[in-house]
Amino acid sequence: MRLLASSLMALATLAGCAGAPLFGGGEGTPEPPRFTDPAMTVVTAAQALQPGRNTKDEVQARLGTAEKVKFDSGYEVWVYRGHGTRDPREVPELALLFDREGVLRKAHERPAYPPAAR
């Protein structure tokens, strides 16, 4: 139970900042993973999933390739980003927590933040 709680805290942390250091760093920076279906949004993707039932293979087939973070415990967090600007704060995210058996346990949607005043 303690492991699950700490994994969920990691999920929440990653959902808020997973893209900031990896993407959006200027020219030549790779694009973050996006949904396979360009019409899919973070909300519709989350609604298509059922924690406790979907497996990693099912999610990847439905949503496409994600940015993945693997933990020594066997848990994984996958992050998908919606469409928007290259600034990761302005793009909504969907963070998924998978257990060591590869079953989806938690899905967290982070909305896009408004553009920063310049």
In a domain, 10, yes or no: yes
In a domain, 85, yes or no: yes
Q: How many helices (H) and strands (E) does the chain have?
A: 3, 4
Overall domain count for the chain: 1
d(CA 42, CA 44): 6
pTM score above 0.85: no
The per-residue pLDDT of the chain, averaged, comes to 79
Confidence label for 91 from pLDDT (cuts 50, 70 and 90): confident
Q: What contacts 29, CB < 8 A, 6 or more positions away? A: 23, 86
pLDDT at 16 over 60: no
Q: What domain range includes position 48?
A: 2-20+33-110
**CATH for 89:** 3.30.1450
In a domain, 28, yes or no: no
Strand partners, 103: 55
d(CA 31, CA 65): 12
Determine the pLDDT at residue 44: 93
